[in-house]
Amino acid sequence: MAPAALLALALALPASVGEPARAPAEGATPVPAAAGVPGRVVLDATSPRIGMPAVTFDHWNHRRRYTCRVCHVDLGFAMKAGETRVTARANEDGLYCGACHDGRARDGGPVLFRACWGWPRSDPARGCPRCHTGPDVGRGAYDAFARAMPPDVAGDVDWVAATRRRLVDPADVLQGVTPRRAKMRIDRDVELRTVGTWMNDVIFSHRRHVGWIACELCHPEVFPISRRGDVRIRMADMRAGRYCGACHQGVAFPLSTCQRCHGRHDPAAARP
């Protein structure tokens, strides 16, 4: 059976089907903001209870190699923390993390360590400590990466500028998994008008977003497809993880970086 078909079958089954007791399922919780690394999440649902440190996952380290759609569409990682329920068995079978971390080289690069191979024996040669680091991971690697990238107005990595300058060139295809994609036909900008006069309107660029994500990631679950004006997007909703907040809370630049969307406010240009 083709890898894509195996993935579809695995996603269709309940989490408990075919999963032996030796393959713990992992949820995901954000690391406290004090960790200071954008997009860092900790998979800690079961590992600590069985004597294994939690898995710390850094989005930045994977995002520089692959687009968001490769993981969240092709590999089936859910957008919400705790919904994917990654298991050691699934990784061993080549799903989720195991689709890349299979002990093989990718695109002429170095051989990637195998994820969860040989569980439940914790063996450094099998790569367990590479992921099961616990939550107390430093930020030195991220800081070194960020210093080489263009910053935005808040000092975070400007990923759009980084890709435009070819400082990062994330692949949009995972061989043997990614299906053939049709190019997006709707690339127009959409104006989102603000209610108050203290903040500029938002010009949403489909083209800028589709370089990273897929239409099906946003529509219709995050943004319903409807007539303009039917949906009111409020900051409170976004802070609760809805609409733009589905990404712009922890992985993409935070909602507090107002100028990235609203631009610089010009009082003379405020609407009456």
State pLDDT tens for residues 201-257.
999 988 888 889 888 888 888 888 777 777 889 999 999 989 999 898 778 888 988
Q: What is the pLDDT of residue 119?
A: 65
Q: What is the CATH T-level fold of the domain 183-272, as seen in this structure?
A: Cytochrome C3 (3.90.10)
Instruction: Name the pLDDT band for 186 (thresholds 50, 70, 90).
Output: low
pLDDT digits (tens, 9 = 90+) for 131-163: 888 888 889 999 999 999 999 988 899 999 999
Which residues have CB under 8 Å from 62's CB, separation 6+?
A: 71
Q: Is the pLDDT of residue 191 over 80?
A: yes
Instruction: Name the pLDDT band for 61 (thresholds 50, 70, 90).
Output: very high
Residue 157's DSSP bridge partners are 151
Q: Is the pLDDT of residue 182 over 80?
A: no
- DSSP assigned state of 114: P
* Equal fold, 1-7+22-181 vs 183-272: yes
Q: What is the pLDDT of residue 71?
A: 94
Q: Is the pLDDT of residue 260 over 70?
A: yes
64 or 8: which leads in pLDDT:
64
Whole-prediction pTM value? 0.76
Other beta carbons less than 10 A from residue 206's beta carbon: 16
Q: Is the pLDDT of residue 54 over 70?
A: yes
Q: What is the mean pLDDT of the chain?
A: 79
Which CATH number is 1-7+22-181 given? Answer: 3.90.10.10
Closest CA to 255 of 244, 265, 264: 244
Alpha helices in 64-221 (DSSP H): 68-69, 88-92, 128-131, 140-147, 159-164, 206-210, 215-218
Which residues have CB under 8 Å from 47's CB, separation 6+?
A: 24, 26, 53, 54, 55, 132
Q: From the centroid of its chain, how far is CA 149?
A: 19
Residue matched to tokens 């036909």: 185
Q: How far is Cα 152 from Cα 258, in angstroms, rounded to an integer?
A: 11
Which residues have CB under 8 Å from 160's CB, separation 6+?
A: 208
Which residues have CB under 8 Å from 248's CB, separation 6+?
A: 238, 254, 255
Residue ranges of the domains in the chain?
A: 1-7+22-181, 183-272
Q: What is the pLDDT of residue 67?
A: 94
Most confident of 104-118, 186-200, 241-255: 241-255
Q: What is the pLDDT of residue 24?
A: 43
